[in-house]
A and B are shown apart, each in its own frame.
Chain A
Amino acid sequence: MAQNGKPKVAFFDFACCEGCQLTVVDSLQTHLELLDAVEIVQFREAMTEKGQDYQIAFIEGSCTREEDEERLKEIREQAAIVVALGACAHTAGVNALKNLQPSLQDVREYVYGDKAEWYETYPARPISAVIEVDAVIPGCPIDRFEFLDVVKKVLLGKKPSIPDYPLCVECKLKENVCIFEKGGTCLGPITRAGCDAICPTFGDGCEGCRGLIPNPNENAMKDVLEKAGLTVEQLMAKMTLFNAYDPAQIDCKGIGAR
């Protein structure tokens, strides 16, 4: 705690677009009093100061390099509470799409040509693959109201909970016409709710950015998608857009080799 009794909070980012931290900044539009409740000691994107005496760490981004592991472990050692902020930290998000490519050497050469060796990378992983995580705020990007809710619960000393029911529940409550009825496809039946079904509400099927519910029936989902007219390639693309990370595919000992 700071001398003023406020908990000290720090924000960190790894491989990501920083959209979730921007969403945190956007939450100030309606909740400027947030700044009265905590003391932010580190937030590189928005401030110069870099305090190291934080208790709560919010981490955005995926682990994609060996040097990331060291930084993550240092944060874990300092922070009493670590919160994964957004899909990249939670499920490895779109960063894990590169894990599906034939080889990481090929990926590096495709972008950097004969200078590929200059740019270190290994398969993208969620931060939970490296350190213990106390709470997760899913989504790409996070939902600002869910962020505020998690912050409130953490400040009250409670364990934040996120919905474990599928998106379809929220979508029905929004009284949306089902995307499948409109001729589209949607991962709502197997995806964790909590975003207020924002994509279906704006006419686009769920892409699974919040990760899957516990015990999802993926085979039934694939059948439904196939029936809706997706080819096998399209179906696999749909299932992997935000959920490509598969620990079984990653040989951590041979990191860099795959």
Chain B
Amino acid sequence: MNEVTQTTLIFIGIYGLLTVSLNLQYGLTGLLNFGQVVFFAIGGYAVAVCYAHGLPDWAGIVGGLAAGAALGILMALPSRKLAEEFWALLSLGVAAFFVIIATNVSWLANGSLGVYGITLWPTSVILIVLIGMLVLLTVATEMLRRVQFGRVMRGIRDDPLLVQSLGRSVLLFRTEVLAASGAIGALGGIVYAHWITYISPDAFGLQVTLLIFTMVLLGGSGNSYGVLIGAVLMELLSVGLQYLPFQALNGGDLALLQQAIYAITLMVLLIFRRQGLVPERTITYPRVTRLRLRRPA
């Protein structure tokens, strides 16, 4: 396997994790998380901070997963009171907040310069971790979609008030989903840190969140397999752009062109094919079984 194939596969894997995470939040539970990149960042930074302070690597991995889940829980709390778009704005603020702290607090992880020389994992290990986790999580998401928990998630997405009136705690479900998505996103960041071996605040801007949204929506928001197709296509597009004959373009202009193309893809997609390439399938139930309602607490 040559180097380009390896890099492409690894990036598909990392973005695949972030896409699965966002699909759980936006695609299935309707949580409009404009700060999705913060989960990615927190995983990367946990590894970088532990490395910079001479702590063992496993501390960064465990700490990253825990911090991702904890931040998810923290972000779920205000969702009870805030209207949908207020929460979306708040999540965007959380991501911006994280970048500002990472840039300006230099004792944490060397501020805007970032941390170099993080332990590189062998390519085979990274690929096995990524592919294993992606298969596991995709199958788990699809299974989750078909059971009661998944029905409640989609219910919260489509009509939170109805779900609440049926005695389910919307807040509890949102908390669980965000905790899981936070840890999955952080895992992406942890692998990223061990592959790129360099973590700086520049890598975690709004454009990353939008790229993940583009992947989810291109594949088909809510479809567990579809979103992975979105991740593959967008990553192949970005690799392809590097091979097009743009002799006149330097690195900065190429990045600019990439950003513009992601943005245009996103807008064209949402104007002309909102359901994505592989739309969410509705699950049909053979017959109505006994309704199990829980008494409100």
Question: Do chains A and B interact in one complex?
Answer: no
**B contact set with A: CB distance below 8 Å:** none
Q: Residues of A with Cβ closer than 8 Å to B?
A: none
